[in-house]
């Protein structure tokens, strides 16, 4: 039996209830009061020729701690997912991205029952699926080092340290995951650019 590829599980809808909500079409956009930044929505949708949402930009959210230190400014916005089974709402990726650089713990609101989140770069540069995975796995690596009991691995908290780790991680993924779909295929690591080169 082939091993299970868990990397795609974050796209699986675990809610057994049918989705009865209707999404507004591009023509049914919500009016925005441009004169007041306090009243501006936290999400802005960009519609392509096909009418579907191609990008979501998260505004006014703080940059997560470790991503800020490595200069990949990721921001996360909770969508407000609901489920009868609260375990369905645990989101390890969001929790790991929000860990504190000194304690290794995420704030309580990011530890459990997080639900679906939207992740974007605060600098509005493209966020490829490999970049998100790489920063998540870097945070996982940081957490492993916290587990050694030596305190915060502050030597990793720089762009240079992440770039070195990123190069090694990409090489490993190229050997393990031979995707063929290009940059937007989370399993295609053949020609993935660094998060600093997009």
Q: What is the pLDDT of residues 129-174, one digit of tens each?
A: 999 999 999 999 999 999 888 899 999 999 999 999 999 999 999 8
What number is the average pLDDT over the span 34-39?
32
Q: What share of the chain is helix, strand, coil (3-state, %, to 5)?
A: 35, 10, 55
Q: How far is CA 87 from CA 7, 97, 185, in A?
A: 19, 19, 28
Radius of gyration of the chain (CA): 18
Average pLDDT, the chain: 77
The per-residue pLDDT for 59 is: 61
Contacts with 118 (C-beta within 8 Å, 6 or more apart), sequence order: 43, 56, 58, 76, 77, 79
Annotate 5-52 with DSSP letters as a single string.
-GGGGGGS----S-----PPPGGGPPP--TT-GGGS-SEEEEE-TTSS
Query: Which pLDDT belongs to residue 191?
Result: 81
Give the domain ranges of the chain. 65-159
| pLDDT tens, position by position, 163-172 | 999 999 999 9
pLDDT of residue 163: 98
Task: Indicate the pTM of the whole model.
Answer: 0.70
pLDDT of residue 161: 98
Two structure tokens written together for 131:
């970049």
- Select from 18, 139, 2 the least CA-distant residue to 70: 139
Q: What is the pLDDT of residues 82-101, one digit of tens each?
A: 888 888 899 999 999 999 99
Is residue 69 within 8 A of residue 100, CB to CB? The reply is no
**Between the ranges 2-16, 26-40, 108-122, where is the mean pLDDT highest?**
108-122
Whether 17 has a pLDDT exceeding 60, the answer reads no
């Amino acid at each position: 039996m082939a091993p299970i590829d868990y990397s795609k599980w974050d796209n699986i809808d675990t809610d057994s209830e049918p989705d009865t909500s209707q999404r507004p079409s591009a023509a049914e956009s919500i009016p925005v009061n441009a004169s007041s930044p306090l009243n501006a929505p936290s999400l802005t949708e960009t519609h392509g020729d096909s009418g579907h949402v191609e990008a979501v930009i998260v505004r006014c959210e703080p940059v997560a701690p470790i991503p800020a230190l490595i200069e990949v400014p990721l921001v996360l916005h909770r969508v407000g997912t609901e489920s009868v089974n609260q375990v369905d709402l645990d989101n390890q990726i969001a929790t790991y991205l929000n860990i504190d650089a000194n304690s290794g713990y995420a704030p309580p609101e990011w530890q459990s029952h997080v639900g679906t989140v939207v992740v974007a770069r605060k600098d509005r540069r493209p966020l490829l699926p490999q970049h998100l995975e790489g920063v998540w796995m870097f945070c996982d690596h940081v957490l492993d080092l916290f587990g050694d009991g030596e305190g915060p691995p502050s030597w990793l908290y720089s762009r240079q340290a992440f770039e070195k780790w990123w190069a090694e991680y990409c090489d490993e993924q190229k050997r393990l995951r031979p995707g063929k779909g290009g940059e937007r295929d989370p399993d295609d690591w053949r020609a993935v650019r660094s998060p600093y080169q997009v």
